[in-house]
A and B are shown apart, each in its own frame.
Chain A
Amino acid sequence: MLSLADVHTYYGKSHILHGVSLEVGPGEVVGLLGRNGVGKSTTLKSVMGLARPARGRVSFDGRDITGLAPHQLARLGLAWVPEDRRIFRLLSVLENLRTGLDRAGMDDARREGLLDKVYRAFPVLRERRHQAGGTLSGGEQQMLAIARAMMLEPRIVLLDEPTEGLMPRMVSQIRDIIGLLNREGVAILLVEQNVPLTLEVSRRVYIMEKGVVRHQALAADLRADQAVIHQYLGV
Chain B
Amino acid sequence: MAIPLDQILIQTVNGLVNGMILALVASGLTLIFGIMDVVNFAHGDLVMLGGFVGATTMAATGNFWLAMLVAALTIALIGAVLQITTLRPLLGRDPLTTILATFGMSLVLQKYALWQWGPSARQLQEPITGRFDLFYLQYPWYRVATAILAGAIIGGLWLFLKRGTYGIWIRATTQDRIMASAMGIPVPWVHTAVFAIGAAMAAASGVLFGPLGGVTQTMGADFTLRAFIVVVVGGMGNLGGSILASIFISLLEAYASLFVSPAQAVIVSFVALILTLLFRPTGLFVPTPK
Contact = CB atoms under 8 A, between A and B. Distances in A.
Interface of A: 48-50, 69-71, 73-75, 79-80, 82, 86, 88-91, 95, 98-100, 102-103, 148, 151-152
A148 B183 contact: yes
A99 B169 contact: yes
Interface string B172-190: 1001101111111111100
A189 B178 CA distance: 20
B168 interface: yes
Interface of B: 165, 168-169, 171-172, 175-176, 178-188
8 contacts: A70-B181, A71-B187, A73-B182, A74-B183, A74-B184, A82-B179, A95-B168, A102-B165
A125 B257 CA distance: 55
A90 B175 contact: yes
Contacts of B184: 71, 74-75, 99-100, 103, 152
Given A98-B168, A102-B165, A80 B182 contact: yes
A102 to B, nearest CB: 4
Given A148-B183, A152-B184, A88 B178 contact: no
Contact of B175 (A48, A79, A89): A89
Contacts of A98: 165, 168
Given A71-B187, A98-B165, A88 B182 contact: no
B172 A88 contact: yes
A50 B169 contact: no
Contacts of B178: 50, 70, 86
A61 B234 CA distance: 50
Contacts of A88: 171-172, 175-176, 179-180
Contact of A69 (B165, B171, B175, B181): B181
B171 A70 contact: no
B183 A100 contact: yes
A69 to B, nearest CB: 7
A91 B172 contact: yes
Contacts of A48: 182
B20 to A, nearest CB: 26
A102 B169 CA distance: 9
A91 B165 CA distance: 12
A88 B174 CA distance: 9
B239 to A, nearest CB: 12
A126 to B, nearest CB: 19
A108 to B, nearest CB: 14
Nearest to A133: B175
B171 A71 contact: no
Contacts of B187: 69, 71
A227 B126 CA distance: 85
Given A50-B181, A98-B168, 6 more contacts: A71-B185, A74-B184, A88-B180, A98-B165, A99-B180, A102-B165
Contacts of B171: 88, 90-91, 95
A48 to B, nearest CB: 6
A70 B182 contact: yes
A62 B124 CA distance: 62
Contacts of A50: 178, 181-182
Nearest to A82: B179
Nearest to B181: A70
B176 A86 contact: yes
A118 B182 CA distance: 19
Nearest to B167: A95
Contacts of B186: 71
Q: Which 3 A-B pairs have the closest CB atoms?
A: A74-B184, A102-B165, A70-B181
